[in-house]
Structure 1
Amino acid sequence: MISGAMRGKGLGDALAKHLLKAENDEVIFLAPRGLGSPDLIGQIRELVALSLGGRTDQPIYHAHVDPEIEISDNAGARRRWWALFEREFRLASQPYCGAVHVKYGREHEHRVYGLVRRDGGVVDLAWDYARREKVSRIVEYEYGLAPVPSKHARAIARALREEGRADVADWLEAAGMLDIERPVAPLSPQERLIEERTGIALASVRAAALSAWHASEDGEGLRDALRERGLRLHAGRSGPVVFDEAGQARLLTRLIGAASKAADGQRVPAAAVRARLEDVSLTQAGEQADGRDHGKAVRAGATAAGDPVGFGSVGGAGGAGSGGSDRGPAIPDDGGRNAGRGDPLPAIRRLQGLGLVDLRALARRLRAFDQRRLALLDMERKRLGNGLATTDMWGVGRL
């Protein structure tokens, strides 16, 4: 069973348009649960509107499942998977909508769930990848398939035994899944999306960074070698970052480390990359061609006042608080549950240190966010009418 999931804000109609893609041979709409809108775009907008009283800014959970071709009862396998999935994440009472895609004679199913509960709490998605893998292993076992290798195999087997499914755990152990080398995906879901958006393969950026590393002997040489390969070197929050031709920020230490590991099995340590650039004065993104820098020059590896990875790349390739590929850091205001509750000066200094390009991009995003939020609030007010005082956040009448 192949599954995937992504959590998001749900603002805009991009997700609905993705589910309606004409590239599929057929799109079959699912009967929604807990929603009244007649079409998929309206249903997702309704899910977002219903979440406005919740304690999260990512209330939408998009999941999909694709049964193996060896399973003849595709629809039955999907029903079983979703039943186990909803039980695992306690989603059985949550509203959802979705569609079944038919492509090349095979069917796979997408569902979009609202994560905010009636009381304003949020569905717990901790360790969602491993938990979805557990659900898939159960279905594979029940349909007589061989188990799929997973890096979470030991944790899955332990959880299965605790939940009384020793039969599935024994099946995994007998197949040797607990002892095989843990597989590593070549790209994360975020990296795949970035590749689709920019048209630039991450592997090619990694190869260019490693080539520049081998072609240089010092920091200035590395910067020049990167520039020759279309990569601009700047300061980042947790080390030097490079911008590719599409303006996507990537952490240099991760690029070189991953490329060297794939090339000869020996990873170039991040410390070695930072050491080579130790005496190089790096600037933040936003320096103009005349040499005037809109940010502060810092040493490589030092904390930058305005991090292009954290605030989105030049030209708006990323969003406020969104990380770049290669899992670059994206934790605003020092992150954690207490973010924003302590000293505001670090955040203020980062904002003050942003270059002109990043400031304009951030301002555009904030203005768009305000308009979308006001539109959703207005839609919710119209839907509830004068019943705000007698209904809960879902529009259901109180006793």
Structure 2
Amino acid sequence: MHEISGFIASDVLGAMKEILAVAAGTRCKQPLFSVSLNPPETETVPVAAFEGAIDRIEKANGFEGQPRIVVFHEKEGRRHAHVLWSCIDAATMTAKAITVLQDAPARSSKQLYLDHGWRMPAGLMDSKARDPKNFDLAKWQQAKRSGRDPREVKGTIQECWAVSDDRVLFSRAMEERGLYLANGDRRGHVAVTYEGEVHAIARVVGKRAKEVTARLGNADPRQGP
């Protein structure tokens, strides 16, 4: 047991009974909100990183100040955590609208993978980032006129980097989203959008040039693999 806050009880079972007792005074049928934090098996994550992630998820879901329970488990040296919040606002005796917040944990999870440089499961990538080659003419012209938000493009490159181990996977992931890996004139590996915009890979993913080269090989094919 790592943390029990906002409760009279000092143990997990007592805190959970407290949540149910408060919920009994409302019409809420699901008074608990839980999240499991399972870092990649290859990573050793400090407690402070877990605490930062929990606070971020709490804020994203509108649970700041709500009673919560945090429990750590360790199995074969790997640490993971379970967090439980009360959904009941004791001051107003109303429940948080969980139904409108269901995608918030997934967004938080994706950002954690990007922040820590972990390889991200492909399922967390933005499925809405369609290949512009599949646009019909009208949609392509609209996209061309409005332009894409540079932050969106950079986020897509970061996601492709996070799910890829080598040049082939990285290039394939980018092409599925209308981006192309190329050799920049002065910036090593670059991503080129269908509008012709160029983004330096190292700068976007926050890595040194030699780290990018280690994963993708030399940008200039004349220098060998």
Contact preservation (8 Å) 1:96, 1:114: yes
Who is 2:83 aligned against?
Answer: 111
Aligned counterpart for 2:35 among listed residues 63, 66, 72 = 63
Q: SS of the counterpart of 1:137? A: helix
TM-score w.r.t. structure 2 length? 0.56
Q: Which among 37, 46, 53 is matched to residue 25 of structure 2?
A: 53
Equivalent residue number for residue 123 of structure 1: 96
> Does the residue aligned with 2:8 lie in a helix, a strand or coil?
coil
1:65 to 1:145, Cα distance in 2 relative to 1, 3 A: same
Q: Which amino acid aligns with 1:143?
A: H
Q: Give me the whole-angstrom Cα distance separating, in 2, the residues matched to 1:123 and 1:67.
A: 27
- Are 1:145 and 2:118 counterparts? yes
- Give the Cα separation in 2 of the matches to 1:35 and 1:165: 41
Counterpart CA distance in 2 for 1:130 and 1:156 is 17
Correspondences of 1:312-327 after superposition (within 5 Å):
none
Map 1:1-399; keep pairs closer than 5 Å: 29-117=1-89, 118-126=91-99, 128=101, 130-150=103-123, 153-154=126-127, 167-173=154-160, 175=170, 176=173, 179=176
Q: CA deviation at 1:126?
A: 2.6
CA shift in 2, pair 1:56/1:166, >3 Å: farther
The alpha carbon displacement at 1:170 in A equals: 3.6
Relative distance call for 1:149 and 1:111 in structure 2 (3 A) is same
User: Residue 201 of structure 2 aligns with which residue?
Assistant: none
Partner of 1:306: none
Stretches of structure 1 that go unaligned for 5 or more consecutive residues are: 1-28, 181-399
Q: Quick check: 1:67–1:78 contact (8 Å CA) kept in 2?
A: no
**Which whole-Å deviations, capped at 9, do the CAs of 1:334-393 have from their partners, x for residues lacking one?**
xxxxxxxxxxxxxxxxxxxxxxxxxxxxxxxxxxxxxxxxxxxxxxxxxxxxxxxxxxxx
Matched AA of 2:103: A
CA 1:64–1:137 in structure 2 vs 1: closer, same or farther (change >3 Å)?
same
Identity of aligned residues (%): 16
Cα gap change, 1:45 to 1:70, in 2 (>3 Å): same
Q: Is the contact between residue 77 and residue 139 of structure 1 (CA under 8 Å) also seen in structure 2? A: no
Report the alpha carbon displacement of residue 98 of structure 1 after superposing the two structures with TM.
Answer: 3.2
SS at match of 2:35: strand
Alpha-carbon shift at residue 121 of structure 1 (Å): 2.6
The Cα of 1:54 is off from its aligned counterpart by 2.9
Aligned AA (2:114)? Y
Cα distance change on mapping 1:127 and 1:166 into 2, 3 Å: farther
Structure 2 CA distance for aligned equivalents of residues 69 and 166 of structure 1: 29
CA 1:137 to 1:83, structure 2 compared with 1: closer, same or farther past 3 Å? Answer: same
Q: 1:145 to 1:171 in 2, by over 3 A?
A: same
State the shift of 1:127 in Å.
Answer: 5.9
> 1:48, 1:179 → 2: CA distance?
47
Aligned residues: 148
Structure 2, unaligned stretches of length 5 or more?
Answer: 131-147, 162-169, 178-225
Give me the whole-angstrom Cα distance separating, in 2, the residues matched to 1:56 and 1:122: 6
- Given that 1:67 and 1:74 are in contact with CA atoms closer than 8 Å, whether structure 2 keeps it comes out as no
Provide TM-score, normalisation by structure 1.
0.33
Structure holding more strand per residue: 2
Letter in 1 for 2:92: D
Per-residue CA shift, 1:147-193, capped at 9, x if unaligned?
A: 21117623599xxx99x78754441256528949xxxxxxxxxxxxx
CA distance in 2 between partners of 1:136 and 1:95 (Å): 22
Does the 8 A contact of 1:96 with 1:111 survive in 2? yes
Deviation at 1:82, TM superposition (A): 0.9
State the partner residue of 2:221: none
Confirm or deny: 8 A CA contact 1:71 1:77 kept in the other structure: no
